[in-house]
Each structure stands twice: as structure tokens, then as C-alpha cells.
Structure 1
Amino acid sequence: MIAIMTVTGADSTGIIAQVTTALAELNINIVDVSQTLMSGYFTMILRVEILDADKSIQEIQEYMKPVAEKTKQVIRIQSEDLFTAMNEI
């Protein structure tokens, strides 16, 4: 399954490292990534492939909560189909 993960918040050292390490621990492959920093505000959008079919979006979201708390980021994940439907005009 393909999903979209967004990471947003104040910039700090190690955000990318901590997020990508957690994804690797879950056997989630990063297919595409975009990140930017503007006026001290960090934003990253990742298109990821969930290789372990036993992991649900909700389980991944729960796993990412400690990373979000530690990095002081808001981390959200949703299926690519849902993301696309919500962002089409």
C-alpha cells in the first residue's frame, strides 16, 4: 500500500533522521520525499510504501507518536487514495 506522511513543526536538529529511522524499523520504504524550511518552520511530505501488509495506518500513526513528541512535530499518515481524494478540486 502507498501512503502519504506529513511532518510539520518548528525546525530542530535530527527530525529527518528520527522520522526515517522509525519508518525503517517498520519496514516502510520511502518512495519520494519533499522537505522545506521556511522562517524556522519545517515541512516534510513523504510518499511511502508499506511493505508489511500487517501494519495498518492507525498502527503506524501510533508508532510515530513518540517520534512526534520527541521532535515536537505533527506527524500524520493517510492512504494515498484518501490524500488524493481530499486534495483534488
Structure 2
Amino acid sequence: EEVAEHFNRFERVDEAPFEAVERISELNQRAYEFFVQPFVQAMSNETTATLLRTFHPLRAQRWAFSDLNPWFAWLGPAADAVRANRHGEG
């Protein structure tokens, strides 16, 4: 408050919209703390953290197209067969 008084010593009226924004921001913060935060805390545990890490898009794109995906279970043996039957160039 002292800082605000110091910088607004000329009683600038153009600061009024920022006060409205500040009140809305405080209301949003209280609404989050009352409604959302308890739900987030209740749902935050090691299981949900593991799921979020596993299904992160950058990780999922790695395992989605590998033999870890049941639809691509054939991929590992196929790669081994190709490796075994590869002919050297030259």
C-alpha cells in the first residue's frame, strides 16, 4: 500500500481500472482455493503422477510406435529378422 501511495502520489485516475483487475484476480484466486484446489490435492498422488508422465505427448509418441504398443508387438521380431538377414553393402 505504501508503494502504491508513493507511485500514485499524483492521484492518477488511470490507475482505477487496475484496481478492478486486482479485485477480479483476488476473487479468482479465492474461487480456485475454495473449489479447485481441494480436488487437485485429492487427486494428486503417485498413481496419477505416473499416469501423467506415461501419457505425456512427448513420451507417448515414443512408445506408441514401438513394440511396447500391443498393436506393434510384431515390430520387435520383424526388426530382429531384418537385422539377421541384412546383407552388407559393397
If the TM-score is normalised by the length of the shorter chain, which range does it land in? under 0.3
Larger fraction in strand:
1
Larger fraction in helix:
2
Higher relative contact order (CA 8 A, sep 6+): 1
How does the TM-score come out when normalised to structure 2?
0.21
